[in-house]
Amino acid sequence: MSTVPSSPIGLHRVLAPAGVLPQAADRLDPQSPPRSDEVLIAVDKLNLDAASYRQLHTAHNGDGAAIRDAVVGIVAERGKMHNPVTGSGGMLIGTVEAVGPDSPLDLNVGDRVATLVSLTLTPLTITDGLADWDGLSEQVPCSGRATLFARSIAARLPDDEPDDLSLAVFDVCGAPALTARVVDRFRDRVGRAPTVAVLGGAGKSGSLSLAAAVERKAERTVAVVRDDTEASLLKHEKLVDNVVIADATDAVATAEAVATVIPGGADLTVVCVDVPGCEHGAILATAEGGTVIFFSMATSFPTAALGAEGLAADVEMIVGNGYTPGHAGYAMSLLKTVPAIRSMFQARMTAD
Ligand code: NAP
């Protein structure tokens, strides 16, 4: 454990370019011994962010070995799992191996934890070449070391849930917390509950966002999904008031589909699709004065901003910050209290 003073936000780990925060860095130093306020994690598993995995899968035509080589290569080159195309990362689980005496994170050696800060800023080394991964799933068995800064966040893994399930829930736990916050805020401001549309409602962040909207007593919830299979699943699980089918990248079709159940558009639209090109559909599907949460990492900020301007759409647009206070505990509570969430996550992970 080094006693050299360090930066709580990890500036001392930035190799290039100088002066940027770790998330914006091209390369981090994952090798130096932990500083007195850092925590060292022995990594078990990575959870690649859905947009990142889909991009890698598409770029390598589904060739698992090539996808594995790409991930190993990114981490070797960048000192972190930061997909250079999507700009997104994911998170990891592992066991605390060392805790600096000045760490404020309240972790102990031996704790099983999930990191709640993105892999795009987490110094990481891989020591097994990802030999146990076939390259065909978002969850990646991995031996390696990761470092948490003083200002990082991590959650202890619950003893009563499978690690893989907790990992998948924690990865997207920012979405339900932000949805709940915006639903509450709308009610306080307008004096009634909002209508809520979720694009990609059958996915992980989408189903949790729907569960959050229901838990906060949204006036009506609608899931936009892309095919009959996802629609039947959601109807079977009874998680949502209405399910409509549309390609979320088709702006007009998406808005028309939402309007069939919420004429005039949703007060809140949450984008949880893992492909690019959903900005305009989300804006068109949202009522005047409403709000769009762009949780998807495949969102283009210029496309959203210029699209709203071009449509003269008076909508508030929120970047889906992955962190909201209490987000991990809230997502876990939805997993435990909403049976549909458990079964949809389990089905998705089995299919993976
Ligand atoms: P997911 O479980 O794969 O869900 C995505 C859903 O979108 C799936 O049901 C997918 O259907 C559906 N979909 C894909 N293309 C569609 C289309 N054209 N029209 C309608 N639906 C479509 O993904 P996730 O883990 O929830 O992640 C969703 C997004 O959140 C990703 O972009 C991810 O990067 C992002 N994310 C953001 C944060 C943050 O901090 N802001 C954190 C984690 C993840 P299929 O399964 O049939 O493809």
DSSP 271-299: E--SSS--HHHHHHTEEEEEEEEE--TT-
Q: Is 172 in the pocket of ligand 1 (CB under 6 A)?
A: yes
pLDDT at 2: 67
Question: Could you tell me if the CB of 211 is within 6 A of ligand 1?
Answer: no
The distance of Cα 46 from the centroid of its chain, to the nearest Å, equals: 13
Buried b (16+ CB within 10 A) or exposed e, 131-154: eebebebbbbebbbbbbbbbebbb
Distance CA 307, CA 252 (A): 13
pLDDT tens digits, 24-61: 999 999 999 999 999 999 999 999 999 999 999 999 99
Given a contact cutoff of 8 angstroms between Cβ atoms, the answer to whether 10 and 149 are in contact is yes
* 117-168 residue pLDDT tens: 999 999 999 999 999 999 999 999 999 999 999 999 999 999 999 999 999 9
Say which residues have a Cβ less than 8 Å from residue 19's Cβ, sequence separation at least 6: none
The pair of structure tokens assigned to 330 is 């809230």
Distance 31 CA to ligand 1 centre (A): 33
Q: Which of 250, 274, 324, 349 for a ligand 1 pocket mutation test, highest count of atoms within 8 Å of Cβ?
A: 274
Compute the half-sphere exposure of residue 2: CA atoms within 13 Å on the CB side of its CA. 12
| Gap from CA of 72 to ligand 1 centroid (Å) | 23
Joined tokens for residue 21: 């925060």
Q: What is this structure's pTM?
A: 0.94
Distance 300 CA to ligand 1 centre (A): 15
Handedness of CA 24, 29, 34, 36 (dihedral sign): negative
Kindly give the confidence (pLDDT) of every residue in the chain, 352 residues in length, as a single tens digit, with 9 standing for 90 and above.
666 668 999 999 999 999 999 999 999 999 999 999 999 999 999 999 999 999 999 999 999 999 999 999 999 999 999 999 999 999 999 999 999 999 999 999 999 999 999 999 999 999 999 999 999 999 999 999 999 999 999 999 999 999 999 999 999 999 999 999 999 999 999 999 999 999 999 999 999 999 999 999 999 999 999 999 999 999 998 999 999 999 999 999 999 999 999 999 999 999 999 999 999 999 999 999 999 999 999 999 999 999 999 999 999 999 999 999 999 999 999 999 999 999 999 999 888 7
Amino acid in position 332: M
Model pLDDT, residue 3: 65
Q: Is 243 in the pocket of ligand 1 (CB under 6 A)?
A: no
Q: Does residue 49's CB lie within 6 angstroms of at least one atom of ligand 1?
A: yes
pLDDT at 246: 98
